[in-house]
Structure 1
């Protein structure tokens, strides 16, 4: 129980960073929106499932990779946290910049012939796995939750929790954004959401950079 209470704040912070990160539309969210609008709700849910499995893959690779590095080079955690912290600060800057922009959400389904639902799952997986920013994002998220000498179960909890969150959030997007009215509603709240994201990423980035453990 003492172990759980020791690592729980970091785990919850990692969950929060991941959850807020997927609120802001990126390639995966826009693909889910566009697919639900143009191909249908079930197809959007299939794509969302593929994205969630991609998140699971990235989380597993990152946790195992960081665990292997830390087992050999304990001091590497400091460098990883600093790198992750600066990445989160960059995300904060991007969020504040997006809040000031006049652009609106554009949700477009990837072009091509209509495909099967299993094809949409694969497409969602590939969208997530080929995102060039995914590795840096996951390093920052995992670094928030893993302290020096953290047991492997902490990484497992982060992996399981982020997968559940990814599946729930992306499927929710697929269901909600199967109607154009939902996107218009989201667009109205865009500035507030981006400002809130910027504040959180700035806080989490500073916490990583100045953390001693």
Structure 2
């Protein structure tokens, strides 16, 4: 088993991806927002959704489809505009935020746990999977270390590593930001922070909409 894995290449993949995950982007912002607004559980579920979205990118990159996305202007544009539209929609929803009633939030959490559960995973998944830059990142990363001789085991290890790193980093972010003490500290300015994060979402969406496949 050890002989079939290039551990130097594995270390390079893990290191590069950790730096990429730590760089603020749509995944970071959606985890931050969900943890601040809805608490640790919602933030952790968002991290799970991001990891699931990443698995989609990993699978089709290893299948060679990310090269098609990178080379097809039409396909790249479709995915890009879908992703940009989703981010801008999320931003507009956040900008419309109003001051929250803590008792109403508690009642909503008690009456709709399934909706909160799905919402965290879905928002994390869509934010990640609709980002074509993730496909190009995967393509650029994997073409440096994967060749015809790379074993299926090694490919699977690389993909699993990317997912686990994302889950751990965004899960830790959720654990830190979603703590009751942190949420209480920002409670009075919650809707203003929500609006600020909404502006960030819109900015990321516009930036994505203007992106070119070659970037």
Smaller-chain TM-score bracket: 0.5 to 0.7
Structure 1's unaligned 5+ residue stretches are 34-43, 113-119
- Residue 93 of structure 1 pairs with residue 88 of structure 2: yes
The corresponding residue for 1:70 is 64
Give the superposition deviation at 1:86. 0.8
Aligned with residue 211 of structure 1, among 205, 210, 213 = 213
The corresponding residue for 1:12 is 20
* Partner Cα distance (2:178, 2:95) in 1: 27
- Cα pair 2:48 2:124 within 8 Å, conserved: no
Distance 1:19 1:80, change over 3 A: farther
Q: Which SS does the other structure have where 1:146 is aligned?
A: helix
Give the superposition deviation at 1:138. 1.9
Give the superposition deviation at 1:100. 4.9
* Partner Cα distance (2:30, 2:45) in 1: 18
* Partner Cα distance (1:97, 1:57) in 2: 25
* Divergent runs of 4+, >6 A: 122-125
TM-score, structure 1 length as denominator?
Answer: 0.59
TM-score, structure 2 length as denominator?
Answer: 0.59
Distance 1:65 1:125, change over 3 A: farther
The corresponding residue for 1:40 is none
Distance 1:211 1:49, change over 3 A: closer
Distance 1:100 1:74, change over 3 A: closer
* Partner Cα distance (2:134, 2:75) in 1: 10
- Cα pair 2:91 2:199 within 8 Å, conserved: yes
Please list the CA deviations of residues 131-187 of structure 1 after superposition, one character each: whole Å capped at 9, or x if unmatched: 278346324163252236634577555423321232022212331467545332332
Structure 2's unaligned 5+ residue stretches are 1-7, 147-154
Q: Which SS does the other structure have where 2:111 is aligned?
A: coil
Give the superposition deviation at 1:198. 1.5
The corresponding residue for 2:137 is 145
How large is the RMSD of aligned CA atoms in angstroms?
A: 4.4
Of Structure 1 and Structure 2, which has the larger fraction of its residues in helix? 2
* Partner Cα distance (2:169, 2:185) in 1: 24
* Partner Cα distance (2:130, 2:81) in 1: 11
Q: Which SS does the other structure have where 1:200 is aligned?
A: helix
Distance 1:134 1:104, change over 3 A: farther
- Cα pair 1:58 1:135 within 8 Å, conserved: yes
Which moves more between the two structures, 172-181 or 191-200? 172-181
The corresponding residue for 2:31 is 22
Aligned with residue 175 of structure 1, among 160, 179, 182 = 179
